[in-house]
Amino acid sequence: IKRIGVLTSGGDAPGMNAAIRAVVRAGLHHNVEVFGIRSGYKGLYQDEISLLERHSVSDVITRGGTFLGSARFPEFKEEAIRAQAVANLKKHAIDALVVIGGDGSYMGAMSLTELGFPCIGIPGTIDNDIAGTDFTIGFDTALNVAVEAIDRLRDTCSSHNRISVVEVMGRHCGDLTSSAAVAGGAEYVIVPEVAFDQDELIQQIHQGVAKGKKHAIVAICENMCDVNRLAYDIQAATGRDTRATTLGHIQRGGSPTAQDRIMASRMGARAMELLLEGYGGRCMGLQSNNIVHHDIIDCIKHLRRPFDEEMYQLSNTLF
C-alpha cells in the first residue's frame, strides 16, 4: 500500500477532522501518501481528489465539521457510478480507502469492498447508532451540547414554573436522548426503542404537577412526534405553561471534546495500520476502551447495535 484515499460522508460529526488528521499523519509516519476526497462519495465520483500533506491537517483537530466536506449521495447505489468511482481511484493509483461516516457511508464502503477495493470504515456520527462500537465519533460532543442546552432550559423553566419539551437528535437511536436525560437530570425520557404512549406521559406529568412539581424537562428523541403539538397537549392537560425546543443541528457543530478527538485519533491511526497489514473490508470500533475492528459486511448486515437499556432505565430510576 503506497497511496490511500480518505473521505467523510453522510451527516458531519465533530471529531471527523481529528480522524482525517490521524489518517494523514499515520500515513506520513508509515511512508504512505494520503489523498483527500472532497464531499464524500459524490467527490469520489466527480474525481475531486488531491494529496493531503502534513500542513493540510494542521490546526484541524480543534475544528468541528469536516474540512473535506460531506454529502449524502444516494446515487452511489448505482453500479455505473460506483464503477466510475473505482476508475477514479485507480487513475490516482490509490490502493485503499478510509471512509469516515455513519451506516450509509458503511454501505458505500461495503460495496467498494465487494468490488475488490479495500476499505476501512470509521464510525463518525453523533447518533451512536453503529454496531461494533460502544461509541461513535461525535456522540460525546453532541451529548455535551445537548446537556448544556438542557441545563439552560432548566434555569428558565424553574424561573417560570414551566414544562420544557426538548427534542434531541439521534435519528432512530435513543442513546443521545437518554444519555442527555441522565446527565441533564430530565424528568421524562422518550426514545424510539421503547413504545411511546402520549396519554400515559401526560398523565404522569399531570400527577407530578398535582403533587406540587413546579417544572419539568421532557427529553424526546427526534422523529417520534410533533413536539410543538406535544407541548400544546401537555399544557392543555396540566394547565402549566409548556414550551418545545428542538436542538437540531446545533448538536452537530462545535469543537470536538477531548474524548472524541482521542477516539478519532486512535481509530484513524489504527485504520492505517490495518491497511498496511493487508486488511480491507473492516470497520473500526471502540469496545471496553480497546480499539477493535470487525468485518464491515457483518457489521451492517448481522451485528445489531444493542439498545442502551441501562441508560434509559437510569433516567427513569433517578426521576
Angle at 141 between CA 8 and CA 196, to 5 degrees: 100
Q: Is 124 part of any known ligand binding site?
A: no
Decide whether 25 or 252 has the Cβ nearer to ligand F6P. 252
Q: How far is the CB of 143 from ligand F6P (least distance, A)?
A: 12
Residue from 8, 70, 88, 125 in contact with ligand F6P (CB under 6 A): 125
Among the listed residues 59, 95, 127, 140, the single catalytic one is 127
Residue 11 engages ligand F6P in binding (rule: CB under 6 A): yes
**Closest to ligand F6P by CB, 126 or 150:** 126
Q: What number of other Cβ atoms are within 10 A of residue 318's Cβ?
A: 11
| Residues of this chain, 234-263, that bind ligand F6P according to CB under 6 A | 252
Of 5 and 11, the one with the shorter C-beta distance to ligand F6P is: 11
Pair 296, 282: CB distance under 8 Å:
yes
User: In whole angstroms, how close is the CB of 266 to ligand F6P at the nearest point?
Assistant: 22
How many other CB atoms are found less than 10 A from the CB of residue 31?
A: 9
Residues 51, 35 contacting (CB under 8 angstroms): yes
Cβ closest to ligand F6P, residue 57 vs residue 247: 247
Instruction: Please report which residue ranges of 68-169 form alpha helices under DSSP H.
Output: 79-91, 103-114, 139-160
Give least dist CB 141 to ligand F6P, A: 12
If the CB atoms of residues 52 and 263 are measured against ligand F6P, the closer one turns out to be: 263
For ligand F6P, give the closer residue by CB, 235 or 255: 255
* 170 near ligand F6P, rule: CB under 6 A: yes
304 known ligand binder: no
Strand pairing report for 282-287 and 290-295? antiparallel
**15 lies in the site for ligand F6P, by CB under 6 A:** no
User: What whole-number distance in Å separates Cα of residue 61 and Cα of residue 264?
Assistant: 10
Distance of CA 269 to the CA centre of its chain: 19
Number of residues that bind ligand F6P (CB under 6 A): 10
Residue 225 touching ligand F6P (CB under 6 A): no
* Interaction between residue 177 and ligand F6P (CB under 6 A): no
Window contacting ligand F6P (CB under 6 A); options: 61-69, 74-82, 168-176, 193-201: 168-176
CA 132 centroid distance within chain: 14
Considering the complex, what minimum distance in angstroms separates the CB of residue 287 from ligand F6P? 21
Residue type, 27: G
Q: b/e per residue, 149-176, with b = 16+ CB within 10 A?
A: bbeebbeebeeeebbbbbbbbbbebbbb
Q: Select the residue interacting with ligand F6P from 3, 92, 160, 171 (CB under 6 A).
A: 171
Q: Is 14 exposed, middle or buried (0-12, 13-18, 19+ CB in 10 A)?
A: buried
- Cα–Cα distance, 216 to 209 (Å, whole number): 9
Instruction: Output the nine-digit C-alpha cell for 167.
Output: 427534542
Alpha carbon distance 175, 172 (integer Å)? 9
Among 22, 34, 105, 127, indicate the residue that binds ligand F6P (CB under 6 A): 127
Going by the DSSP 8-state scheme, the letter that residue 306 receives in this structure is P
Let me know if 127 is a catalytic residue: yes
Catalogue the active-site residues: 127
Q: List residues forming the annotated binding site.
A: 11, 21-25, 72-73, 102-105, 125-127, 154, 162, 169-171, 185-187, 211, 213-215, 222, 243, 249-252
Which residues carry a binding-site annotation for ATP? 11, 72-73, 102-105
| Chain residues in the site for ligand F6P (CB under 6 A) | 11, 102, 125-127, 169-171, 222, 252
